[in-house]
């Protein structure tokens, strides 16, 4: 099943206690696509400026990713982010953020992608997220991510979006900000009242929580002794989760649980190296192996 | 199998966003004993002052707890703690702490308890914890708890203790303080170098982590939408864990996992009400039921 993702594509500079990488590929749609492409065919929609070196997309070579929705906009500059985890590996300090082309009009979804059944709206302005949905013919599962900025500045648009999606993925701080509930289960239940059928709260090193109409499911992170660069962990998680779901065709409790575990495994590869290197260093076989190891470890 | 516990017995005053309770029974050994007594016979060693109302121990009536090691010391005052969770349910602010009798000599372990095979040294001065061990004839499993205060002020004695125990239970902040490692797995592995065969790191609302010579096992907390009073959660966790282990006679990986899950369940009852009320409101059947629910929820 085809999985459509729209989100940011950027040039990152990242500092962690383990080193610094300048001008590496990043962005929510990039991590998501790479992670999801271990499972299914991915359709990528995004926009970069003409300054973006073509070689940056070499990472997609040989992957099951259709970059037909990738626009290189003339006269524009690519989104750039410089973040530092030197003080706290759990939360990046943004040293500099240049939205550049992300502050302009959204990229267009090519007509050949209109029939996408699985859709992930990675974090961007909620009005743009809604715009993306308009052209889709018969989406089966729409999941969105969001962030503090939109919760605080575009709440009205965000609430409109929430009525149009099946699932919302956000982190613990964002869930608390959106609902003003401290307890995460209470916060998740509040989100459900806003529209989505399920919500996944990402808790970084503490794993994730799924809350649906009937179930609450909590999963720890895959135990990692060495975290090199947490950038993209949440997007890789979402990519693993959605990629697996797109191969299943049902969203039963057990299926979603297994999907969260795949998301957890994908995130564990991402944080083990800078930029996409962690994901590039693995394969489907290793992913399945780690998933089984995780499943085994979690049973008692 | 008999399970010996030594630790504090106190009179607590606790404030949370859900109310205030004054002069209720508390202390590490009390929560531990009550939780463990759902599984096995418990031998309690502790000391209170002559100000302690006898009625306070009514909670032990009908429980499988031998309070033969409970000393009521004439001329002394009972340990008192006044804590507030009003600002943060994850960490108590100590409004007032009066060590009183806890600052005096330790209570004696009655001779009839010398043959105890399972031992839990709840949090107290590490020199006293070592003293307790001297009189035991053939302990099979010794587990200790500790706290920030001793890590900072009695490190030498604590390191001596660590060489004499099989397992250490401590919270995430304490593990980081003891080892100066931020990553919890790295911290746990560092603790293992100090002596214990296994370490259990309690992470409050984020569950717990076990690290042994070969295994790392992470378990989330039991999902709780309403936390009324977190006091005693860690001691109830330890009580459930040790109580179950005392009935098993082996410390294999799977056994310890199941024990941690029982600890998690016991803690979930404790936090659902003030003081011991949460534990008093449950029974072994309900505990087993919740344990099975948890096991089911964790499998995917």
DSSP string, B45-84: EEEEETTS-GGGGGGGTTSSEEEEEEEEETT---EEEEEE
pTM of the predicted structure, to 2 decimals = 0.90
Q: Which candidate in B207, B244, B300 is best for mutational testing of the A interface (most A CBs within 10 A)?
A: B300
Cα dist from A210 to A218, A224, B284, whole Å: 6, 21, 29
The lowest-confidence range among A68-72, A85-89, B3-7, B207-211 is: A85-89
Judging contacts by C-beta atoms under 8 Å, the chain A residues touching residue B260 are 300
Asked if the C-beta of B175 comes within 8 angstroms of chain A's C-beta atoms, the answer is no
Residue B224: other Cβ atoms inside 10 A: 18
Q: Looking at the complex, does the CB of residue A220 fall below 8 Å from at least one CB of chain B?
A: yes
Task: Give me the pLDDT at residue B149, please.
Answer: 86
Q: Is the pLDDT of residue A214 over 90?
A: no
From chain A, the residues in CB contact with B241 under 8 A are none
The C-alpha atoms of residue A210 and residue A200 are separated, in whole angstroms, by 5
Q: Pick from A171, A255, A300 the residue to mutate for testing the B interface (most B CBs within 10 Å).
A: A300
The answer to whether A223 contacts chain B (CB < 8 Å) is: yes
How crowded is residue A64: how many other Cβ atoms within 10 Å of its Cβ? 15
A260 reaches B (C-beta below 8 A): yes
Tell me the mean pLDDT per 10 residues along chain B, length 300.
Answer: 92 96 95 98 96 92 95 96 91 91 91 96 90 92 93 95 97 95 94 97 94 91 92 97 95 92 98 97 97 92
Average pLDDT over residues A172-188: 94
Question: In angstroms, rounded to a whole number, what is the distance separating the alpha carbons of residues B236 and B175?
Answer: 19
ipTM of the complex: 0.82
Beta carbons of A247 and A1 less than 8 angstroms apart? yes
Using an 8 Å CB-CB cutoff, list chain A residues near B189. 225
Best CA proximity match to A227, nearest among A267, A255, A197, A195: A267
If you measure CA to CA, which chain B residue comes closest to A262? B300
A203–chain B nearest CA distance, Å: 9
Residue of A nearest to B255 (CA): A300
Portion of chain A with pLDDT greater than 90, in percent: 82
Beta-carbon separation of A206 and B209 below 8 A:
no
């Amino acid at each position: 099943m085809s999985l459509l993702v729209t989100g940011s594509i950027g040039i990152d500079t990242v500092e962690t206690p383990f080193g610094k990488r300048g001008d590496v590929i990043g962005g929510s749609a990039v991590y998501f696509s790479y992670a999801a492409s271990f499972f299914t065919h991915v359709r990528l929609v995004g926009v970069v400026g003409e300054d973006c070196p073509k070689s940056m997309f070499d990472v997609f070579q040989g992957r099951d990713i259709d970059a037909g929705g990738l626009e290189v906009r003339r006269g524009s500059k690519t989104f750039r982010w410089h973040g530092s985890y030197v003080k706290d590996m759990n939360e990046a300090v943004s040293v500099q953020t240049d939205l550049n082309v992300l502050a302009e009009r959204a990229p267009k979804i090519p007509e050949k992608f209109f029939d996408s059944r699985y859709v992930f709206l990675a974090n961007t302005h909620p009005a743009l997220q809604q715009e993306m949905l308009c052209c889709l013919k018969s989406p089966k599962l729409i999941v969105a991510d969001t962030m503090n900025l939109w919760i605080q500045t575009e709440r009205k648009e965000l609430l409109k979006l929430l009525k149009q999606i099946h699932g919302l993925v956000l982190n613990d701080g964002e869930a608390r900000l959106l609902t003003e509930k401290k307890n995460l289960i209470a916060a998740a239940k509040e989100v459900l009242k806003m529209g989505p059928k399920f919500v996944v709260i990402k808790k970084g090193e503490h794993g994730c929580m799924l809350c649906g109409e009937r179930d609450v499911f909590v999963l720890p992170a895959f135990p990692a002794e060495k975290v090199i660069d947490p950038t993209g962990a949440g997007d890789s998680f979402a990519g693993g989760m959605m990629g697996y779901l797109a191969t299943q065709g049902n969203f039963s409790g057990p299926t979603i649980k297994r999907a969260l575990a795949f998301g957890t495994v994908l995130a564990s590869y991402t944080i083990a190296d800078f930029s996409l290197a962690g994901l590039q260093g693995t394969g489907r076989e290793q992913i399945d192996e780690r998933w089984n190891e995780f499943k085994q470890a979690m049973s008692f």
